[in-house]
Amino acid sequence: MKTKTKTILIAGLCSPLSLAFASEAELNARIDTLEEQLNATAEMIDSLDTATSNTHLGGYGELHYSKNKNANDEIDFHRFVLFVSHQFSDTISFHSELELEHSIAGNGDDKKGEIELEQAYIDIKVKDNLLVRSGLFLLPVGIINETHEPNTFYGVERNLVETNIIPATWWEGGIGVSGIISQGLSYDVYAHSGLKTSTENAYQPRKSRQKVGEAPANDFAYTGRIKYTGIPGLEVAGTLQYQTDLTQSAGTSAGSAILYEGHVVYNKAGFGLRALYAGWSLSGDGPKNIGADKQNGWYLEPSYKFMGKYGVFARYSSYNNKAGSDAEATTQTDVGINYWPHPNVVFKADYIKQGNAGSNEAVNLGIGYQF
């Protein structure tokens, strides 16, 4: 009896100690489990941070108001654009641009806008001075075709020459290389889809863009540019483009086309100057019969920026889509002011007066942003 009592007593005394050891072991197991879960969560967050840090979102937009002398007054949210880019590795990246023009797109007279994919390309950096680009890209021609965010240029509307002779914004699909020859001297060479023109659009470059939407590709075009930026504030560039058949083998009225362009951009101590000349030479009886075998234009734009936020400019431009005939060129004089409350936000006002083949006179107001 004494032995049994002693056994029960010893068991009773040991039970709390056993429970204590059991609770501590269970607690340690739970701590280990929580630690594993926290580590897994941290790894997942790190992977998400890495993915998002390699993907970038940007964009720009602009609202225009025009009070016209010889046309209806108009307000238009002209462009809403989003950029998405992704860095796959140190040498491979993706870049895209999606644009909504004129606020609303669809069927019907009240839906005047368009949704356009203007860029979607892959860049592969072969080495420090050589880049390969393939996909849908902006052509290396003119001043504003590649850089046209509203805070980067003067005037509410883009200039007439880089609209009607160089049909900016102008994108094509293909492949090309960009490289550095020496310090300040670079080149671009591309093979890409081309224009498709006919008598119906009077062989005008702007009306000949196919925008790479199920576009005939019987005849590719080839574009090359040389650019010099070796002096601070100075850019001098020249572009040449050749296309064998401007009709995409759809007719015999027109043949080959050559585009040539040269420009100078200079900025120093607030003073700015832009000067550009561009022209087309089209073969074939179709363009020749209406004087469209020669098309050209030029503009000169001095400007001055002061206090870092205010800028004034004047621009004289002239273009002619029938320079091979007696048709008069359209000329336009612009004067205006830009105000940048922030480098990426701009308010604009200008006055324009057209002469010769043009007849409009207008006051324009604009708001633009980039992020």
Tokens representing 41?
A: 């969560």
* pLDDT the model gives residue 11: 46
Are 47 and 61 part of one and the same domain? no
83-118 confidence digits (pLDDT tens): 999 999 999 999 999 999 999 988 766 778 999 999
DSSP H or E stretch at residue 25: helix 2-53
Q: What average pLDDT score do residues 59-67 get?
A: 98
The pLDDT of residue 19 is above 50: no
Model confidence, pTM:
0.85
Structure tokens at 356: 């010769």
SS3 115: strand
323, two tokens? 């320079």
My answer on whether 242 and 339 are in the same domain is yes
Confidence tier at 21 by pLDDT (50, 70, 90): low
Distance of alpha carbon 319 from alpha carbon 358, whole angstroms: 10
Same domain for 91 and 25: no
Cα separation, 303 vs 301, whole angstroms:
7
Closest CA to 226 of 181, 291, 259: 181
CB 211 within 8 Å of CB 219: no
Tell me whether strands 234-243 and 257-268 are parallel, antiparallel or unpaired. antiparallel
| CA–CA gap between residue 301 and residue 263 (Å, rounded) | 11
pLDDT band at 17 (very low <50, low <70, confident <90, very high): very low
129-174 pLDDT tens trace: 999 999 999 999 999 999 999 999 999 999 999 999 999 999 999 9
Q: Within this chain, do residues 47 and 60 fall inside the same structural domain, yes or no? A: no
Within 10 A of 297 (CB to CB), how many other CB atoms are there?
Answer: 27
Higher-confidence residue: 8 or 329? 329
Residues 29 and 163 in one domain: no
| Cα–Cα dist 142/100, whole Å | 23
Distance separating alpha carbons of residues 22 and 150, to the nearest angstrom: 71
11 and 90 part of one domain: no
Per-residue model confidence (pLDDT) at position 210: 96
When computed from its CA atoms, the radius of gyration of the chain, rounded to whole angstroms, is: 31
Higher-confidence position of 206 and 30: 206
Query: Which own/partner contact pairs does 74-77 have at CB distance under 8 Å and 24+ positions apart?
Result: 76/102, 76/103, 77/102, 77/103
Mean pLDDT of 257-262: 98
- Whether residue 35 is predicted with pLDDT greater than 90 in this model: the reply is no
pLDDT value for 351: 98
Q: Is the confidence at residue 356, as pLDDT, over 50? A: yes
Answer yes or no: are the C-beta atoms of 136 and 117 closer than 8 Å.
yes
30, 135: one domain: no
Strands (E), 49-113: 55-68, 74-87, 92-101
Both 161 and 22 in one domain: the answer is no
Last residue of a domain, one of 19, 35, 53: 53
> Averaged over 16-32, what is the pLDDT?
65
Same domain, 200 and 72: yes
Mean pLDDT throughout 182-207?
A: 96
Q: Of 26, 53, 80, which marks where a domain is finished? A: 53
Closest CA to 313 of 292, 334, 329: 334
- Looking at residue 352, its amino acid is I
Residues 235 and 104 reside in one and the same domain: yes
Range of the domain at 199: 56-370
Bridge-partner residues for 319, per DSSP? Answer: 297, 330
- Same-domain pairing of 208 and 232: yes
Please report, for the domain that includes residue 345, its CATH number.
Answer: 2.40.160.10
Q: Are residues 163 and 295 in the same domain?
A: yes
Total domains in the chain come to: 2
Predicted confidence at residue 111, as pLDDT, reads: 72
In tens, the pLDDT along 278-311 reads 999 999 999 999 999 999 999 999 999 999 999 9
- pLDDT of 253 reads 83
Residue 1 pLDDT greater than 70, yes or no = no
Quick one: pLDDT band at residue 7, thresholds 50, 70, 90? very low
pLDDT given at position 359: 79
Q: Tell me what pLDDT residue 37 has.
A: 76
Tell me what the pLDDT averaged over the chain comes to: 91
Q: Considering only residues 28 and 108, tell me which one the structure prediction assigns the higher pLDDT.
A: 28
Percent of the chain with pLDDT over 90: 78
